[in-house]
Structure 1
Amino acid sequence: CYCCTALCLTVSHSSTLFSHLSRFKETTSWRFRNLTSVPEGLDVRLRELDLSNNVIRHINSQSLALPSLLRLDLSYNQLEIISEGAFRDVAQLQELNLARNALSHNVDSTSRALGSLHRLRRLDLSLNGLDDDAAGLYLRDKSILERLDLTGNGLTRLTPKLFAESLSVRSIRIENNLITAIEEGTFEPLKKLKILNLARNNLVNICDFKLHQVKLLNLSRNSIEFFVTREDGHPYELEILDLSFNNLLYFPMVPKTNRLRYLHLQSNMVGTLETDTLISEADSLYRELTSEDEVNDAVDNNNIYSNWKLMPLVYMDLSSNHFRSLPVETLSHLTSLVTLNLSKNCLQDISGNGHVGGYHQPSLTFPSLRYFDLQNNGLRQLSTFFLEALPNIETLNLKENSVRVSLNSMSPCVSFWNIKTLRSLDLQDNGIKTLHQNTFKGTPLISLNLASNVDIIFDIGALEGLQSSLQSLSISGNSMTTSALSLPCLKALRRLNMSNNSVDVLPGIISCSPLTELDLRNNGLTSMNESVVDRLSLYLDVLYVSGNSFNCCDTNWLKALNKEKVNIPDLHHAVCLSVNGTLLTVHISILYTTYLMCIYYILLVHVSML
């Protein structure tokens, strides 16, 4: 009937239309096409267009007729000029990436073109060689702009005029410029600003920080000598402050009312001054930069850092500074601290008993600290008082120090006995010679690194108490022989690193553990006990074997591992020795060939003897 026919035609037409629409892509990419201009005939429904990494020099007024376009990427071209009316027909554009071009040329024309983009929310002008004036022209009429990137340009001075027409901006990145000064009022009017990145510039100091609205501030890799915040009674929203790789002599001075949680101070000069000198000089500096009336409110008990007791800091990185002793006077206020990194300093002794350098200090306590990195210092001892000040410690990194381990809490050595919360301990490269019986008893370690303690001796029962908890153990690089190993049955062990030793026989005791990863590289193994290998294969996923001198005529262990599909990533580097000492490379694909070659060399030896 007619109705049926009409219905069929409608369904058919709808199906064809749907098929056509389904082939339309809202996004198209013309990256790396060596284009010199915008392609013609682009679908007017496009919402995202990527023309990056081409050689386009000019965008003329007829190039872009895409009324639905929201995102346009023109980065990594050779753009020198964008005609004034080029963006007339992309009025909906919200994101524009112009990074790595030559927009320092023809600034007047190109800036007028950008001025017509009234809906623009994200703008990337990085790596264009822009100076202060050019950047200002490009930011005219950007009233709803939210994210701005000016990284890698030539800005030298920031003034209030620069962002006067971009008051809605939330994120500004001006990293890697030549900025030496920031005029007052530059960022204060930007009430929505949350992220400010000024890393890799030439700033020397921040003497009156008062951006209450900013949550993340990155000032790393400048030349900053001090950071001072004036106490004005208003709350600060700052949560992340990065002052790493500067010339700081003092801790940053922050207001009482703050929300700072993450503080990066690595690679500075903090600790060069003794603790008492540091505090007194910081107090004097604050008085010099602020009025006398404010000092009385800001400084409690003549210590500007007493404000830290109200700071909700959870992460602090003080690595690569100049501390010779623990800055107890300051750190004692940080009761919320979870992670503290003091690696690569000059620490030699941490007593933690309230006496440092001969005078009384507040008792050190870190009630919330879980991760403490003391790697690469000169530590010889950690007192019982200090370890007791870490009631919730989970990870302790003492790698590359000179600590000595003992059982006696009264000795000058370090005792790791009965630390109920400790889960991960790194004692690599400490020169430890003896690991005594029950060293870690009562301390339920999950991970233990004893690597690079050359000629270390394990007393019988040295790892006693770790049988049901230890999951990862490294004894790499200790020059240990098979007889020097005294391991208990570690029923929870999953990863064992025995590399770079002198082990010639695979210890049968390790088959007691459900190992998933075993590292046997660079030892003296010539074969492996098949019964041990069979038990290991029940759980083993990864095995490393290179750097041993296996017997080419005894490769049954390798066949067993191959049968169980154990991954041996370095097998192509493994070698074996034939009967007459000829070196042959063992490849898993030539196992049987290797066996036949072994028979060949045996016959060759017999022939040579006749």
Structure 2
Amino acid sequence: MVKHTFANLLLWSLGHALYATGKMDDGAKEQSWRNQNLDSVPLDLDVGLRSLDLSNNFIRQLHKLDLPYLEQLDLSSNQLELISEGALGDLALLEKLNLSINALNNNLDRNSKGLQSIGGLKSLDISLNSLGDEAVKLYLQNKSSLEQLKMSGNSLTWLTHYLFKESEGLRSIIIDNNLISAIDRGTFEPLEKLEKLNLAKNNLAHICDFKLQRVKYLNLSRNSIEFFIAVEDNHMYSLEILDLSHNKLLYFPILPKFNQLKYLYLNHNLLGNLNSEASMVLEANSLYNDVVRQGDLIIGKNNLHSTWRLMPLSYIDLSYNHFTSFPLETLSLLSSLEGLDFGFNCVQNLTWNVRHDSASEYYRQLYFPSLKYLNMQSNGLVSVSPLFFQALTQVEKINLQDNSVQPCAPVGQVHSSSSPQQLNLNSSCVAFGKLRTLKHLSLEDNNIRILHANAFQKSALVSLNLARNSHMVMQAGALEDIKETLQSLTISELNMTNSELFLPCMPMLMHLNISNNNLNVLPNSLSCSPLREFNIRNNAFVSLNYTLILAISAHLHVMHIHGNYFTCCDSQWLSTLNNSRIKMPDITHTECFIGDSSIPINEYLKNSSLYCSLHIKGIHIGQIIIVVLFVTVLITVLTMVTRKMCCLKKSFIV
């Protein structure tokens, strides 16, 4: 019995030690020694291990490992500088090896021989090891089974055609954050299974003959690329995502004629510096002719537009460029385009600068037949051509934040029966009435002066943001046309008072933000709105209408109330919110007032009767004290007068 108990205690202590240090998972045969301050690999490891994590330690040398079933080994974030030649020889099943953040730039010959012994490796990470071109070449020898390779943060400068010669099965290559300025032709082309290639954060200046047919994801962001050209051929390219952001592009990329591109990132470039769209297209085509060695030969074909016309692109990011005009003709070629980010450019007037039809003096009407989301934030927009809005046949969401757009009055809207030549193409206001499909509109921070009655006539908006238009006058009936559809309304930071707020009954409204104004009374019209989230922060509310709060609390989930001047002892509304378990995320920072004293509202709620026990029917405690003092003084005076009268009476009798 004693022996049995002792054996159980011993097993328990050993198990506890493993949990505290090695963290052994018997089911999956995984063991972690992460962050254990180890300076060498632990002895007597379980030979049945399939996964071993030794990361974040101080291991400098790796010697023979006798782990025949090991499939994954993580030695990242150590000080590893030496791998013995036979260290990994018995790891016949090893598929995934992480050696990132070490010192593998030392002992190159011995280390490379140590790595050559694991020919079945599928995933290798040698990032952040200060490795140069020759070092990487050595480490990639005998890696015919390799499928995933990561070499981020090293010192590679030139990729040659023999670098991946022994690893032609690669599917994913990540070589970001190096010093690569040149790539030999034939470096990636033989890799027929390559689908993901990341060359971000290098020193590449141009891509002049893209031929990677199998690649689906290509990241070339944060280089110094001035142009991207693929010579036209009849091959189908698998490219779906292309990231060319944070470069020095002057032209739109000329992509493979047949591709499957869905997402194109061109943000943070120099696009638009050539002033006009026509100049940019002309220069791009001229450059294409030079690249394909056709010199000064005049070719009538527009290579840029011919390839863009066939692209199945669904999203393009053109934000943070230098456009002063909107490239209407080029972008209208993208018939599948659903999302366009054109924020942070310099388009003040979105004019209809489209070439005339050859046989007509009238403007051609182009269309964006699939566009649903358009971001024009921070362009300095003042006017938008009605023809542009007419081209947005399916648009659902427009962001015009941080511009100078003035919504037109209803009489200023253009009737649909007007012909193109009759349209006022230089209107100083923007009419939203023609956007019948529009559901979400942001006009935040546009310095809007007046929001006219029926400003959204014939619209069916679901959400509207009018925040930070601090001088805006809202006319009665401004929201009348969207009262039946509006679900979210933001009218914060308008310096608005009660007399300036006109909210109709909105039976669909679920989110309302009226924060940062000068309001002290809630509109009774809110009683018919099924509000779920309500923000009244930073106003001048002393109390809230109890009947109204009771009505909206049936649907309310969240309410923000901080930054008002609530009276503690007039807080029946607060008890209603509290008892309904409605979330008030800022309640710990909210105070209420009793006289000149403030109390945290959450403290007040714990014992409201104590704080307000001296309040009788709304009379302030100071008022009670004054009344008591007055009565006391009055009684004292009367007593003294009575005594004096008594004394006089006695004196008279005598």
| TM-score, shorter chain, exceeding 0.5 | yes
1:389 to 388, 391, 399: 391
Shift of 1:195: 0.7
Please tell me the residue identity of whatever aligns with 1:381. Answer: S
Please tell me the residue identity of whatever aligns with 1:537. Answer: S
Shift of 1:383: 2.2
Question: Residues of 1 paired with 2:364 and 2:244: CA distance?
Answer: 27
When structure 1 is superposed on structure 2, of 99-108 and 304-313 the one drifting more is 304-313
Per-residue deviation, residues 207-229 of structure 1 (Å, max 9, x unmatched):
22222221111100001111111
Partner of 1:235: 236
Shift of 1:599: 5.1
Instruction: State yes or no: 1:409 paired with 2:413.
Output: yes
Per-residue deviation, residues 508-553 of structure 1 (Å, max 9, x unmatched):
2222111111111111111111111111211111111111111122
Q: Retained in 2: the 8 A contact 1:477–1:500?
A: yes
Question: Residues of 2 paired with 1:361 and 1:39: CA distance?
Answer: 78
Partner of 1:335: 335
Q: Retained in 1: the 8 A contact 2:309–2:333?
A: yes
Please tell me the residue identity of whatever aligns with 2:384. Answer: L
Per-residue deviation, residues 167-211 of structure 1 (Å, max 9, x unmatched):
000110000001111111111111111111000001111122222
Per-residue deviation, residues 249-276 of structure 1 (Å, max 9, x unmatched):
1111123222222110000000010222
Q: Retained in 2: the 8 A contact 1:195–1:217?
A: yes
- When residues 50 and 603 of structure 1 are mapped into structure 2, their CA distance, relative to the original with a 3 A threshold, is same
Per-residue deviation, residues 135-161 of structure 1 (Å, max 9, x unmatched):
111111110111100001111111112
Question: Residues of 2 paired with 1:489 and 1:418: CA distance?
Answer: 24
Instruction: State yes or no: 1:436 paired with 2:452.
Output: yes
The within-5 A match list for 1:537-556 is 537-556=553-572
Shift of 1:68: 1.3
1:585 to 583, 586, 599: 599
Per-residue deviation, residues 412-435 of structure 1 (Å, max 9, x unmatched):
421112532111111111111222
Please tell me the residue identity of whatever aligns with 1:307. Answer: T
Partner of 2:227: 226
The within-5 A match list for 1:147-226 is 147-226=148-227
SS in structure 1 of the partner of residue 279 of structure 2: helix
Question: Residues of 2 paired with 1:578 and 1:199: CA distance?
Answer: 61
Question: Residues of 2 paired with 1:376 and 1:121: CA distance?
Answer: 47
- When residues 568 and 453 of structure 1 are mapped into structure 2, their CA distance, relative to the original with a 3 A threshold, is same
Q: Retained in 2: the 8 A contact 1:353–1:363?
A: no
Question: Residues of 1 paired with 2:363 and 2:272: CA distance?
Answer: 16
Question: Residues of 1 paired with 2:220 and 2:450: CA distance?
Answer: 46
Per-residue deviation, residues 19-46 of structure 1 (Å, max 9, x unmatched):
xx99544222221111222222322222
Shift of 1:305: 2.7
Question: Residues of 2 paired with 1:361 and 1:188: CA distance?
Answer: 46
Please tell me the residue identity of whatever aligns with 2:497. Answer: T
SS in structure 2 of the partner of residue 405 of structure 1: coil
Partner of 2:125: 124
When structure 1 is superposed on structure 2, of 44-53 and 181-190 the one drifting more is 44-53
Question: Residues of 2 paired with 1:165 and 1:289: CA distance?
Answer: 31
Question: Residues of 2 paired with 1:276 and 1:441: CA distance?
Answer: 36
Question: Residues of 2 paired with 1:304 and 1:492: CA distance?
Answer: 47
Partner of 1:307: 307
Partner of 2:419: none
Q: Retained in 2: the 8 A contact 1:552–1:595?
A: no
Shift of 1:302: 4.4
The within-5 A match list for 1:30-109 is 30-61=33-64, 64-109=65-110
- When residues 321 and 595 of structure 1 are mapped into structure 2, their CA distance, relative to the original with a 3 A threshold, is farther
Partner of 2:9: none
Structure 1 portions without partners, runs of 5+:
1-20
The within-5 A match list for 1:337-486 is 337-352=337-352, 354=354, 363-406=365-408, 407=410, 408-410=412-414, 411-486=427-502
Per-residue deviation, residues 40-62 of structure 1 (Å, max 9, x unmatched):
2322222111111112111111x
Partner of 1:270: 271
Question: Residues of 1 paired with 2:38 and 2:374: CA distance?
Answer: 53
Shift of 1:301: 3.8
Q: Retained in 1: the 8 A contact 2:161–2:186?
A: yes
Question: What is the TM-score with the length of structure 2 in the denominator?
Answer: 0.85
Q: Retained in 1: the 8 A contact 2:365–2:387?
A: no
Q: Which structure: larger Rg?
A: 2
The total of aligned residue pairs comes to 582
Partner of 1:13: none
Question: Residues of 2 paired with 1:302 and 1:135: CA distance?
Answer: 42
Question: Residues of 2 paired with 1:200 and 1:72: CA distance?
Answer: 28
Question: Residues of 2 paired with 1:324 and 1:106: CA distance?
Answer: 55
Q: Retained in 2: the 8 A contact 1:495–1:517?
A: yes
Please tell me the residue identity of whatever aligns with 1:170. Answer: R
Question: Residues of 1 paired with 2:241 and 2:68: CA distance?
Answer: 40
Question: Residues of 2 paired with 1:384 and 1:94: CA distance?
Answer: 60
Q: Retained in 2: the 8 A contact 1:198–1:218?
A: yes
Partner of 2:259: 258
Per-residue deviation, residues 479-502 of structure 1 (Å, max 9, x unmatched):
111221111111111111111111
Per-residue deviation, residues 47-103 of structure 1 (Å, max 9, x unmatched):
111111112111111xx2221111111111111111111112211011111111111
Question: Residues of 2 paired with 1:526 and 1:77: CA distance?
Answer: 61
Shift of 1:355: 5.7
Question: Residues of 2 paired with 1:540 and 1:102: CA distance?
Answer: 58
